[in-house]
Amino acid sequence: MFVEPIVRIESLRVEFPGTDPGRTPNVAVKGLSLSIAPGEVFGFLGPNGAGKTTTMNVLLGFNNATAGNAFLFGVNVREPIARQRIGYLPEQTCYYKFLTAEELLRFYARIFRIPKADVESRITAVLRLVELEHARGRPIRTYSKGMQQRVGLAQALINNPELLILDEPTSGLDPLGRMKVRQIIQRLKAEGKTVFFSSHELGEVETVCDRVAILHEGQLKVEGRVRDLVTRYHGDLENIFLQLIGYSQPAYEPGTHLSSGRQHAA
């Protein structure tokens, strides 16, 4: 039976105007094609500057594709209505800091036209999920970084989205914060939500993802089930990642000074 993918990216190319004297365009994404099925947790990996955030920005309508197409639920991402059933967590926390978590969520609930009768219960449910119920009346500016990240998750979940797009959700968090975010993703996975997230935490990706794609210099290097990749490349995700981006580890000789490269006599 054919299942319509929730995310469909076809031959996506994104160019930015060049800043060099010849104005050569910078190609951020080169002919990327991907699809994500309902209920999948999909990890989007790649070194910094690989084009992950640019791809997400196209899906969210922040950037326009130079060529190719992207669809959410079969609707072209250029249509605002394509974003009705998604939740998005940006990499950096960025919310109106003069608002309390409750006010922020009420504002986003209004944007999604959640019926007034359901707003209160929805706010309580998402704040409970991200363990912020005790701080719902406090201004966001008084929150720690971990708490702000969890407010971000709460706002991404307020419309009970079918697809969550998370841009490095654990970036800059302490181990406890990372664990909490990971637990939330696992809970969402158990609820059957589709999650599309980028991360540098390969161990975390290995734990929670069904499928991964590795992007390097705007090109898709590999895509597949984590299990299959591990079998195919005979190593863990970190080794596969380093291998695919062409990183060769410099030989380390014991006793070598990092600053001078001199070697101590044994």
Partner 1 sequence: MSPAPTCLPAVSTLLEIPARLARWRGWGNTQAIGSIVLLEMRRRKDFYVLFILTALITLVLGAMNFFNEARIVRYLKEICLLLIWISSLVIAITTTARQIPAEREQRTVFPLLAKPVTRTELLLGKFWGCWQVAGLTLLTFYGFFALVSGAREHQWPLAAYGQALVLHWAMLGIVIAMTLLGSVVFAAPSSTNTIAFLVSAGILMLGRHLNHVALQLNEPLQTLVYAAYYLLPHLEWFDIRNRVIHDWGLVPWWAWSSALLYAAVYTAVFLVGAAAWFRRKTVL
Residues binding partner 1 (CB under 8 A): 57, 60-63, 80-81, 83-84, 86, 88, 90, 92, 94-99, 103, 107-108, 110-113, 152, 155-156, 165
Nearer to partner 1, 95 or 197 (CB): 95
User: Are the C-beta atoms of 151 and 127 separated by less than 8 Å?
Assistant: no
The least CB distance from residue 6 to partner 1, in Å, is: 16
Query: Alpha-carbon distance 110 to 107, whole Å?
Result: 5
b/e map 14-39, b = 16+ CB within 10 Å: bbeeeeeeeeeeebbbbebebebeee
Nearer to partner 1, 96 or 247 (CB): 96
The least CB distance from residue 182 to partner 1, in Å, is: 21
38 secondary structure, DSSP code = T
Nearer to partner 1, 127 or 165 (CB): 165
Q: In angstroms, what CA-CA distances link 117 with 82, 220, 261?
A: 25, 45, 68
Nearer to partner 1, 55 or 63 (CB): 63
Collapsing DSSP states into helix, strand and coil, what is residue 213?
A: strand
Query: Alpha-carbon distance 57 to 53, whole Å?
Result: 6
The least CB distance from residue 194 to partner 1, in Å, is: 16
Nearer to partner 1, 31 or 90 (CB): 90
The least CB distance from residue 250 to partner 1, in Å, is: 35
